[in-house]
Amino acid sequence: MNYDVMIRNAKIVDGTGMPWFRGDVAVLGDRIAAVGKLSEEDVKSAQTVIDANDRILMPGVIDTHTHLDLTPFDYNRSQDPKSVRRLRQGITSQVCGCCGITAAPLCDRSKGEWMERTFGIRDDSAVTWNSFGEYLDVLEGSGLGVNFCGYVGHGAIRHCVMGYENRKPTASEMEQMKRLLAESMEGGAVGMSSGLIYAPGVFADTEELVELCSVLKDYNGIYASHIRSENAGWIESVEEVVEICEKNQIPGIVHHLKTKAKDSREKVARVLEILHQARERGVDVVFEQYPYEASATTLDVVLSSWMQEGGKAAVLERINDKTRFEEYRQSIRKDYGWKNDEEEWLGAKNMLIVAAEGHPEYKGKYVDEIARELGMEPVETVFRILRETDLQAGGAFFGIKEEDICTILRDPLGMVGSDSDDVKIGATTHPRTNGTFPRVLKKYALDQEVITLERAVFKMTGFPAAKFGLRGRGLIRTGCYADLVLIDPKTLADNPTYTDPFRKPEGIEWVMVNGKVALKDGEPTGVLNGRVLRSNG
């Protein structure tokens, strides 16, 4: 047998969660052709031989949570259109379309509004698709550094039919949403995601989601949710995901499981208990997690849900209305549990501005710091930043405890997902975008031994491959796709920080995507061998 690539003398962590073993891996075309102790004759037949020298060989990482739907398109002005930063983490496949926020389906009458508010695309003339299947077709032809698959977003579906209206759908509107969901599943979506703190998803009640998700049963589609609350209402919000999945007999995923609640230890234990009890009843529900003490999202999530109704113009009109400022402020205080001025200022100390379009002076500063510089109150300061950036601002929100990160990471129901942002030129981001997977492998597995290396690798390879139905991926086995990562554990490091989130991780040395070397000695080769992975094919 003549092989294209032979990786010799590796410590193989195969993605199953089983103990590592030493061996060789041969690649022919886009597949793994042999695994084990291969002969010298086999080695000589290979065009390229890589001596792993007892370094770790693992399957390519499958990032279960990203917002990189438009990354490859030039007009999107992404800093990483060829996914080089993905490769530097060992990522070979990624799941897009999380939190209800997707680039399809689109409707001609509202396409511009959705693309501008959701993705910051002010000129939508280059957006040539409407349906989810058409979006994947365009994505497929764009030159991909890694493999893409994706959810269809409840937010996108609801916006197509109802815009940003805060009300229940009519029977006719529900049928339209069901049709769009069915078309998206037939077009290749892995399921439907929801973002129940973002407009318009925030306006949907449980009844709406239960009925809409009934469509997923015919496709074995996943329901994944950025739940309504990760603080006071966290337990009830997780229970809502279980209810939706149980009533429809569909698989479910809780996005980025975490909480900033003061009594978090008890709540974490209770939430994990709820998920395990649901599984005992036959409900296929799991979660994903990123290992950082701060979350990050758009700054407008600070606004109460009712303040987000009606689209961007209506939101800006509200936060410009000084006569109602105190009403808005008290509503936000109630949402956050701030009882007085002191608690509002303490809350602002946990809000770091990571993106502010057109206003670099705000980036890298906490809201309380900016408020003092401007001589304003914290909520007033948030309003000002939102006004001046035309709602194009983002923040990191601290308060997640290390103890809770470790407890959640140990749980067998969890996968790893970075919640990566699509970072535009000139913008900044959360360190999770560039450091999540090296961080789990180095800090939590190799150094602190919170989980074993084999379990860490399983959570980011074999587990998500099975959950998302990515046949032939996530494992080092003969016949599987040759998505492979070679790591030096001695130099492995996640270097990104909140103040310098673009520092390169170290120790990810070779990456193969569908049998082609995309990263060699830590540097990109320029190969674009990623594919679109459709749920129906």
Distance CA 351, CA 331 (A): 18
Torsion angle, alpha carbons of 277, 279, 283, 285, to 10: 100
Half-sphere exposure of 355 (CA within 13 A, CB side): 25
Mean pLDDT value across residues 173-202 = 97
Number of Cβ within a 10 Å radius of residue 252 = 25
Contacting residues for 138 by C-beta, under 8 A, at least 6 apart? 128, 129
Whether 425 shows a pLDDT value over 80: the answer reads: no
Decide if pLDDT at 418 tops 90: yes
Q: What pLDDT is attached to residue 305?
A: 86
- What pLDDT was estimated at residue 74? 86
CB 453, CB 13: distance < 8 Å? yes
- The predicted-structure confidence for 481-520, as pLDDT tens digits, reads as follows 999 999 999 999 999 998 789 999 999 999 999 999 999 9
Q: Does residue 64 carry a pLDDT above 80?
A: yes
DSSP conformation class of 142: S
What is the average pLDDT across 526-531? Answer: 98
What is the average per-residue pLDDT within 318-326? 94
Q: What's the rounded Cα separation, in Å, for the pair 53 and 41?
A: 19
Q: What is the CATH number of domain 298-397?
A: 3.30.1490.130
Q: Per-residue pLDDT for 75 more than 90?
A: no
- Where exactly are the structural domains of the chain? 298-397
State the DSSP H helix or E strand holding residue 404, giving kind and residue range, or none if neither. Answer: helix 402-410
Give the residue ranges of DSSP H helices in 123-188. 132-140, 154-162, 171-187
Cα–chain center distance at 187: 21
Q: What is the mean predicted confidence (pLDDT) over 465-489?
A: 98
Mean pLDDT of 178-195: 98
Mean pLDDT score of the chain: 95
Band of residue 124 on the pLDDT scale cut at 50, 70, 90: confident
Q: Name the one residue in this structure whose structure tokens are 């390169």.
A: 504
77-105 confidence digits (pLDDT tens) = 889 999 999 999 999 999 999 999 999 99
Distance CA 503, CA 484 (A): 23
Which residue is listed with tokens 């808005």? 328
For residue 31, what is the enclosing H or E element?
A: strand 31-36
- CB neighbours of residue 334 within 10 Å: 11
Parallel, antiparallel or unpaired: strands 523-524 and 516-520:
antiparallel
What pLDDT, on the 0 to 100 scale, is given for residue 520? Answer: 98
Burial class (CB in 10 A: 0-12, 13-18, 19+), 507: buried
Q: Report whether 153 contacts 102 (CB < 8 A).
A: yes
Is the pLDDT at 537 greater than 60, yes or no? no
Q: What's the token pair of residue 171?
A: 């029977």
How, if at all, do strands 91-96 and 147-150 pair?
parallel
pLDDT at 226: 98
Strand order in the sheet with 91-96: 61-63, 91-96, 147-150
Place of tokens 């739907």: 69
Which pTM does this prediction carry?
0.93
Report the SS3 class of residue 294.
Answer: strand
Q: Model confidence over 327-366: pLDDT tens digits?
A: 999 999 988 889 999 999 999 999 999 888 899 999 889 9
**E strands in 257-368:** 285-289, 294-298, 351-356
3-state secondary structure of 335: helix
